[in-house]
Amino acid sequence: MSKKIHFIAPDVKEQILKRIKEEGVSVTQAAKDHGLHESTIYNWLGAGAQHTPSWIDFVKLKRENKALLELVGEITLKLSESQKKS
């Protein structure tokens, strides 16, 4: 069984990496969206990792921060509603 070699244009590669790094899109989702294997994207990210330290941590923290802000909003709303009932 032979391997198919697909060429990804540099601008498309940059767009995919930008979505992951700046928009917080998961590697899994980006791979599905573009018909790529996750390991391909991880290889790209690893090659650029010398220039952008701990981008994975940054993306994880960005997602965690968003989730925490949503949680704080929900708790604040519930607290406000319970105070109005009293």
Secondary structure (DSSP) of the chain:
-PPPP----HHHHHHHHHHHHHH---HHHHHHHHT--HHHHHHHHHHHTTTSTTHHHHHHHHHHHHHHHHHHHHHHHHHHHHHHH-
pLDDT for 79 beyond 70:
yes
pLDDT for 67 beyond 80:
yes
Domain parsing of the chain, residue ranges: 10-85
Would you say 51 and 20 are in contact if contact means Cβ atoms under 8 Å apart?
Answer: no
User: pLDDT tens for residues 4-21?
Assistant: 667 888 899 999 999 998
User: pLDDT tens for residues 27-53?
Assistant: 999 999 999 999 999 998 887 655 555
Q: What is the pTM of this model?
A: 0.52
> How high is the pLDDT of residue 5?
65
